[in-house]
A and B are shown apart, each in its own frame.
Chain A
Amino acid sequence: MSTNKDLDEKHIAKKGDKPVISNNWQSLQRFTDARIALGRVANSLPTNAHLAFQLDHARARDAVHVPLDSVALQAQLLEQGLTVLPLHSQAVNRQMYLQRPDLGRQLAPESASQLKRWRAQHGCNKVSIVIADGLSANAVQNQAASLLALLSSGLSTLGLSYGPCAIVQQGRVAVADEVAELLGSRLLVMFIGERPGLSSPQSLGIYFTRAPRVGMSDESRNCISNIHARGLSCQHAIERLIWLIQMSEKLKISGVHLKDKSGEAQPLLNVTPEQKPRFQLT
């Protein structure tokens, strides 16, 4: 059974006055940032939706090239009482970073020496913390300090010593293994900017690794991704991370064999569960 309004719109579309068919389930956009209910012109994307996409793509492309303001980030972390070591990978600029992933995974020689000196003077901590710009410097710029504050308090509760906090520019995930190895840490927590999405150009990922060493492969890592304002919250991300760290200490493993079952555990941080709006098809 079609409503009159329905028939009218089809009729109008046929006449060509208004070929765009819109969708009244557009209201479901309140549940997701996904590009749903875009409407159609016969089978194709209407002009406004097409150009909105083009704009977002242009912005995401540009976001890849925004540099990390390491000095500003250092200042934020120093305020929290953290020790900060600004480092650089062997990729000297963004162009090289994009084309040579191998260089983004290795520390520049002067950065490696800096870590050796630090260890000689201060000894080893159990947890190394590494922050890298990755593909979204903005993600790190805007969220690293909040995450670090939550992480420090969580690690202190567990009685794990940590630090210093290394900031690696033009860094990829595996560069953190070298940092942790040089610092002699048993556990590694890494924060890195994820590839910018069209709708989330500021998403951050956390990688957790036990017994980090240069040359290890990805199955040894646990990843918590999509941390951004409209994705996973900083609190929930750190709660999950702390759970992984606890289990890793108990089972002496990390990676694919360390299953995230944090839903079974009592919340470790006092996070109020979010009241989620509901929509279901059944």
Chain B
Amino acid sequence: MVYQSDAGGTRYRFANLKTLLAKATPLRSGDCLAGVAALDATERVAAQMCLADLPLKQFLQELVVPYEDDEVSRLIIDSHDPAAFLSIAHMTVGDFRNWLLSDEATASRLSAIASGLTPEMVAAVAKIMRSQDLILVSQKIEVVSRFRSTLGLRGRLATRLQPNHPTDDPAGIAASLLDGLLYGNGDAVIGINPATDNIHAVMGLMQLLDDVIQRYDIPTQACVLTHVSTHLEAINYGAPVDLVFQSIAGTQAANRSFGISLAMLDEAHAAALSLQRGLLGHNVMYFETGQGSALSANAHHGVDQQTCEVRAYAVARRYQPLLVNTVVGFIGPEYLYDGKQIIRAGLEDHFCGKLLGLPMGCDICYTNHAEADQDDMDSLLTLLGVAGVNFIMGVPGADDIMLNYQSTSFHDALYLRKVLNKSPSPEFAVWLEKMGIADARGTLQVANTLPPSLQHLTPRL
């Protein structure tokens, strides 16, 4: 296939599909670092025009990473559902954008085509969409997942309560955990990033979270975000594991750099299911992703970082996860330079994941060496709220003292629920009311002192 287009009196040619995709990507530092970005703004739009004319079918013919070399490519092709693809099989990428924005593309029709889409098709259409397009289409899609709470329902916004501590100190974690619950956070998951992979420390944290969830009968789930192999080990020791966590990427080589393969994920998924700990549903996996991870591991095969990211969602959807979290600004300015690039990437990731049928959340975040600040986070937070993001992070005061980056705070979640009239997950909303933390309308009731349901903790303060 010849990839070429005319723009501004110049004919632009693109060597192959992955080059075309890379050149069509809105500017970001990671693609410049990889040497795959468009050379100038005109070449970028020329690539977008060429991409818009490309038949979706071409993505089934030409793979950006060869089938023989990469198990993620094999997964993408082998799991493609031709029946689901049929209704859009005649479209170009440009037609597909038009259709997505049209009133014909209802929630049920979008959900019906999900298994007929490959990550590359979805990445491609995202590249020719503006922010408002990404938001509009995302908002139509409802992806619901369940374990002990129901997540992703329209009009709801959940949070991961993230009570991290630099030495995994149980008292420090408990203090942040209590604060988060009192601020109405924690319905997506209570998830700790442990400071160490030490199996005994990890199992201690699993027990701590499980004890709190059982003691107060909280309709949520726990997760200690350690390596999948450590989860397996913990399960073998009999530790209480609700969700199995793993960071995943869009190429086999990048996953290898994380020390994982599809076979390992299959094993962990089966082990988590065997525990039967979900009350409402059996979505037992929690995945994190982020643009730039494949390049960071030098495992991108010349593919742009946004396309690599969407390929990671093909890995995720194999396991019907409860949560998929794009940790958008964590990787640093080498990959997403500033607030503008982080905001665009967050909207893309959320859109692409939702279109592929994933329960997308976003860690709206930045590091201290990026050109970003709280104003940028407020923008992305508000935009993703409008787009219907399933969950965001709840970190005390937005400052993660273990991972050393800034995410969204308990207060940020309250802000978003208020301005967009959203509530926590239904089961958690009932629990908050029962505990006297919020009223029936979701308004926070806790003032200076602990609510009556937690008065027994007052002597320990």
A200:B448 contact, CB within 8 angstroms? no
Distance of A215 Cα from B179 Cα, bound (Å): 44
Chain B positions within 8 Å of A224 at CB level: 196
Chain B positions within 8 Å of A272 at CB level: none
Given contacts A31-B169, A100-B33, A256-B227, contact A22 B448 (CB under 8 A): yes
Residues facing A in B403-438 (CB within 8 A) are 403-406, 409, 411, 414-415, 417-418
* Closest B residue to A259 using CB positions: B199
A218:B401 contact, CB within 8 angstroms? no
Residues facing A in B347-373 (CB within 8 A) are 367-369, 373
* B132 contacts chain A at the CB level, 8 A cutoff: no
B461:A57 contact, CB within 8 angstroms? no
* Closest A residue to B257 using CB positions: A217
Residue with the greatest number of chain A CB neighbours at <10 A, chosen from B175, B333, B398: B175
Given contacts A43-B414, A259-B199, contact A36 B396 (CB under 8 A): yes
Q: What's the dominant secondary structure at chain A's contact region?
A: loop
Chain A positions within 8 Å of B444 at CB level: 40, 43
Q: Chain B 312-330 against A: per-residue CB contact (8 Å), 1 yes, 0 no?
A: 0000000000000000000
Residue among B177, B212, B369, B404 making CB contact with A200, cutoff 8 Å: B404
B166:A282 contact, CB within 8 angstroms? no
A34:B176 contact, CB within 8 angstroms? yes
Chain B positions within 8 Å of A1 at CB level: 452
* B195 contacts chain A at the CB level, 8 A cutoff: yes
Residues facing A in B178-196 (CB within 8 A) are 178-179, 182-183, 195-196
A98:B411 contact, CB within 8 angstroms? no
Cβ of B288 to closest chain A Cβ, rounded Å: 15
Chain A positions within 8 Å of B215 at CB level: 281-282
Chain A interface residue count, Cβ-Cβ cutoff 8 angstroms: 79
Residue among B169, B179, B337, B369 making CB contact with A37, cutoff 8 Å: B179
Cβ of A251 to closest chain B Cβ, rounded Å: 15
B415:A44 contact, CB within 8 angstroms? yes
Cβ of A112 to closest chain B Cβ, rounded Å: 20
Chain B positions within 8 Å of A40 at CB level: 183, 411, 414, 444
Distance of A230 Cα from B337 Cα, bound (Å): 30
A57:B368 contact, CB within 8 angstroms? yes
* A250 contacts chain B at the CB level, 8 A cutoff: no
Residue among A10, A45, A215, A256 making CB contact with B409, cutoff 8 Å: A45
Given contacts A57-B373, A219-B259, A276-B169, contact A199 B461 (CB under 8 A): no
A199:B399 contact, CB within 8 angstroms? yes
Chain B interface residue count, Cβ-Cβ cutoff 8 angstroms: 80
Distance of A257 Cα from B216 Cα, bound (Å): 37
Distance of A259 Cα from B437 Cα, bound (Å): 41
* B229 contacts chain A at the CB level, 8 A cutoff: yes
Distance of A224 Cα from B167 Cα, bound (Å): 11
B201:A263 contact, CB within 8 angstroms? yes
* A15 contacts chain B at the CB level, 8 A cutoff: no
Cβ of B247 to closest chain A Cβ, rounded Å: 11
Which stretch of A82-90, A178-186, A189-197 is in the interface?
Answer: A189-197
Distance of A22 Cα from B173 Cα, bound (Å): 21
Cβ of A90 to closest chain B Cβ, rounded Å: 14
- The count of A-to-B residue pairs whose CB atoms sit within 8 angstroms is 233
B199:A261 contact, CB within 8 angstroms? yes
Q: Chain B 79-110 against A: per-residue CB contact (8 Å), 1 yes, 0 no?
A: 00000000000000000000000000000000
Cβ of A41 to closest chain B Cβ, rounded Å: 9
A257:B259 contact, CB within 8 angstroms? yes
Given contacts A36-B179, A53-B399, A219-B257, contact A281 B405 (CB under 8 A): no
Residues facing B in A20-69 (CB within 8 A) are 21-25, 27-29, 31-38, 40, 43-45, 49, 53-54, 56-57, 60-61, 63-64
Cβ of B120 to closest chain A Cβ, rounded Å: 24
B405:A197 contact, CB within 8 angstroms? yes
Chain B positions within 8 Å of A27 at CB level: 461
Given contacts A43-B418, A99-B29, A200-B404, contact A260 B397 (CB under 8 A): no
B→A interface (CB under 8 Å): 29, 33, 163-167, 169-179, 182-183, 195-201, 208, 211-212, 215-216, 227, 229-230, 233, 256-259, 296-299, 332-334, 337, 367-369, 373-374, 396-406, 409, 411, 414-415, 417-418, 444, 446-450, 452, 457, 460-461
Given contacts A45-B409, A64-B369, 10 further A-B contacts (CB under 8 A): A38-B397, A40-B414, A45-B397, A101-B334, A195-B404, A217-B298, A219-B258, A219-B259, A226-B166, A259-B197
Closest 4 CB pairs of A and B: A35-B397, A197-B404, A256-B259, A32-B172
A→B interface (CB under 8 Å): 1-3, 5-6, 9-10, 13, 21-25, 27-29, 31-38, 40, 43-45, 49, 53-54, 56-57, 60-61, 63-64, 98-102, 135, 194-200, 203, 215, 217-219, 224-226, 228, 230-232, 240, 255-257, 259-264, 276-282
